[in-house]
Structure 1
Amino acid sequence: MRRFGFVLLLVLTSCTPASSPTPAPSAGGTASRQSAAEAEATLASLRRVDDLPLYEMTYTGDYETAVSGPAPTAAAPFGCSLFAALGDRSHPVFGRNFDWDPNPALVLRADPPDGHASISLVDLRYLGFSAADDPRGDRRLLDAPLLPFDGLNERGLAVGMAADESARSVPDPSKPAVGSVRILRLVLDQAATVDEALAIFARHNLDFTGGPPLHYLLADASGASALVEYTDGQQRVERGTTPWRALTNVPLAGVGEEERRHDRRYRLLADALDASGGRMTEVGAMDLLRSVAQPHTRWSVTYDLATGQVRVVAGQRWQTVYSFRQPVG
């Protein structure tokens, strides 16, 4: 793992510690395996950076991913758009719009003692916060590592998800169950490549209980990528080293490219990525996300898998881009 050297920049543009810890207080933070000092340092690092509101926080110390904790619940599906532009191996880019309710969001930095450092985005509604709440000092933030909706780790592996109403996961009693969002935390912490990420998916039952069923996009700095879907209770993986991949809210496994493009957002992504040969500048990637944004797009983020540059636009204020950095290598 790597210690962080994150810098927050405002840019105008056209998107178990080694010793046994003292447990943190039990009011919130069920995932925390921090000493009291680490928990306080985590909460003290919270900063509001945008009036979405968008916050940033650095998680200090360890956490447990096997606890019972928060999970997304929804009566209607997430609407999201994702792509991986992998044609330029010196600057492979992963982009994602998160389209959902007007909730506060968090840019979370984590560096677990036995895992990879990462940066991810979290919808704070699922920790119990509304946009009107002041989360400062609230121990529920200590569960934030359980809910990455997209992210990038220090090995250059990016992950994201979108709703797929047709997805069905049938439990295999020989495998442990994991929540449909928490699986992304396991991937960010434990996988360095797409192949390693797929092995983590294969070792677990996906639990869609209480929330929309999902499918997933993975990409790494080598140019590898994969789609993971659940059809008729079976995991289906589409992998390869194609110059680009796109994902919206329609199932793709076993579906031809012409049929895939019947979905408007997928078609817009695919046409642009085809035309560019899967090559995207940072500005071009954010512009592409803008072209498929919906009225309820909450954040738009691009991850450079080679340099670790992370750029975030909150609430479709495209003229304001917040830059973060996740060192990769």
Structure 2
Amino acid sequence: MRWTLPAASLALLLTLTSCSATGSDIPTPPGATPAGTPSASRQDAAQVDQTLGSLRRVDDLPLYEMTYVGRYDPTDGTDAKPATPFGCSLFVAAGDRSRPLFARNFDWDANPAMVLRTDPPDGYAAISLVDMSYLGVDADPAGDRRLLNAPLLPFDGMNERGLAVGLAADDGARAARDPAKPTVGSVRILRLVLDRAATVDEAVGVFTAHNLDFDGGPPLHYLLADASGASAVVEFVDGEMRVERGRGDWQALTNVPVAGIPEQQRREDRRYGLIAQAMTESGGVADAAAAHRVLGLVQQAHTRWSVTYGLRTGEVRLTTATGGAERRYQLPMG
């Protein structure tokens, strides 16, 4: 769908996406890639100028916003070594099926971040969040063509159909490779999900159709949710993909496995236990303000951003480690 936002709001927004055919999907760290290298961009010159011209710094994290204009190739590959994982906390509150909500803390290195809007001609419009350090941009990224790779790096996001996805480190994960399937990077798979899936079942299908490459980076697991309130965790156990469907009013994910693990054992993880307690007490019902309070309970010293996605409303609420004002975005729902 096309974005229909006031011009002032549109100038503050961002977009990008992609997927590696071989090797890790995370672009090269700062200083390692010269500006002007090939990217996922399939834009004409005017679209490049419009995209780069939309970049705005909006807080001192620093947090940027950008709107990607035109086409990108979600199979274009990039390569890099990601940072050491520190943690993440995610949950779905689906006790009220009329307003399900996806929430997450992103806990990582102290890097700049970007709110990115994408609206590919052959996929769903989406809002996602990007750790900009993996783009290799300098301290002042204005005009840097490496920003055109941002579509490759959604660390979490939601599309116009209300499908949301986020990732967290899972040290024990191991993904085997099927030579009959294409291989994509472990972050890039989020772009394919956001572009192509409207439901949890469709998102699981995207995962099933690909090998995931964890080489050179932390192995990961993933939380999915959609506008119906359905949710699932996707994990990789002994090389096999496992899907743990949400069975109640909520589902949570931190950095411990959940597939086949009894709930009481999961709650031995402090952050998982705090989320589980809060969600159990509320019956899995939480508006954005309540969800941010739960995220605050499990916030860590290295939490970079906290975000909620309204899976039916399209509302996105974001706070960063600066402690500044909450930022709100509206994704038109298709």
- Give the secondary structure class of the aligned counterpart of 1:288: helix
* Matched pairs, number: 309
| Alignment partner, residue 22 of structure 2 | none
Please report how far the alpha carbon of residue 188 of structure 1 lies from its aligned counterpart in structure 2 after TM superposition. Answer: 0.2
| Alignment partner, residue 3 of structure 2 | 3
| 1:154-203 C-alpha deviation (Å, 9 max, x unpaired) | 00000000000000001111100000000000000000000000000000
Please report how far the alpha carbon of residue 5 of structure 1 lies from its aligned counterpart in structure 2 after TM superposition. Answer: 2.3
- Give the secondary structure class of the aligned counterpart of 1:249: coil
Please report how far the alpha carbon of residue 88 of structure 1 lies from its aligned counterpart in structure 2 after TM superposition. Answer: 1.1
Q: Choose which of 45, 66, 76 in structure 2 pairs with 1:67.
A: 76
| 1:269-300 C-alpha deviation (Å, 9 max, x unpaired) | 00000111110011101111111000000000
| Alignment partner, residue 118 of structure 1 | 126
CA distance, structure 1, for counterparts of residue 80 and residue 305 of structure 2: 19
CA distance, structure 2, for counterparts of residue 51 and residue 162 of structure 1: 25
% same residue: 63
| Alignment partner, residue 317 of structure 2 | 311
| 1:71-99 C-alpha deviation (Å, 9 max, x unpaired) | 5612x224100000011122111000000
| Alignment partner, residue 265 of structure 2 | 259
| Alignment partner, residue 42 of structure 2 | 33
Q: How does 1:84-123 map to 2 (within 5 A)?
A: 84-123=92-131
What value does the CA root-mean-square deviation take over the aligned residues?
1.6
- 8 Å contact 1:70–1:126 — kept in the other structure? no
| Alignment partner, residue 62 of structure 2 | 53
Q: Which amino acid in structure 2 is aligned with residue 327 of structure 1?
A: P
- 8 Å contact 2:118–2:127 — kept in the other structure? yes
Does 2:278 align with 1:272?
yes
CA distance, structure 1, for counterparts of residue 93 and residue 81 of structure 2: 28
| Alignment partner, residue 202 of structure 2 | 196
Q: Choose which of 72, 84, 89 in structure 2 pairs with 1:81.
A: 89
| Alignment partner, residue 17 of structure 2 | none
| 1:96-134 C-alpha deviation (Å, 9 max, x unpaired) | 00001110000000000000000000000100136xx01
Please report how far the alpha carbon of residue 307 of structure 1 lies from its aligned counterpart in structure 2 after TM superposition. Answer: 0.6
- 8 Å contact 2:40–2:76 — kept in the other structure? yes
CA distance, structure 1, for counterparts of residue 332 and residue 258 of structure 2: 32
- Give the secondary structure class of the aligned counterpart of 2:326: strand
CA distance, structure 2, for counterparts of residue 51 and residue 245 of structure 1: 32
Structure 1 residues 212 and 142, CA gap change in structure 2 (3 angstroms): same
Q: Choose which of 205, 214, 220 in structure 1 pairs with 2:211.
A: 205
TM-score relative to the length of structure 1: 0.91
Structure 1 residues 165 and 49, CA gap change in structure 2 (3 angstroms): same
Moved over 6 A (4+): none
| Alignment partner, residue 322 of structure 1 | 327
CA distance, structure 1, for counterparts of residue 251 and residue 155 of structure 2: 18
Please report how far the alpha carbon of residue 240 of structure 1 lies from its aligned counterpart in structure 2 after TM superposition. Answer: 3.9
Structure 1 residues 144 and 8, CA gap change in structure 2 (3 angstroms): same
- 8 Å contact 1:308–1:326 — kept in the other structure? yes
| Alignment partner, residue 184 of structure 2 | 178
Structure 1 residues 316 and 152, CA gap change in structure 2 (3 angstroms): same
Q: Which amino acid in structure 1 is aligned with residue 326 of structure 2?
A: V
Q: Which amino acid in structure 2 is aligned with residue 237 of structure 1?
A: V
Please report how far the alpha carbon of residue 3 of structure 1 lies from its aligned counterpart in structure 2 after TM superposition. Answer: 2.5
Structure 1 residues 72 and 90, CA gap change in structure 2 (3 angstroms): farther
- 8 Å contact 1:29–1:141 — kept in the other structure? no
| Alignment partner, residue 16 of structure 2 | none
Does 2:235 align with 1:229?
yes
CA distance, structure 2, for counterparts of residue 118 and residue 162 of structure 1: 20
Structure 1 residues 212 and 57, CA gap change in structure 2 (3 angstroms): same
Q: Choose which of 113, 134, 142 in structure 2 pairs with 1:136.
A: 142
Question: What 5-or-longer segments of structure 2 have no aligned partner?
Answer: 11-34
- Give the secondary structure class of the aligned counterpart of 2:313: coil
Structure 1 residues 241 and 306, CA gap change in structure 2 (3 angstroms): farther
CA distance, structure 2, for counterparts of residue 307 and residue 71 of structure 1: 36
Please report how far the alpha carbon of residue 68 of structure 1 lies from its aligned counterpart in structure 2 after TM superposition. Answer: 1.5
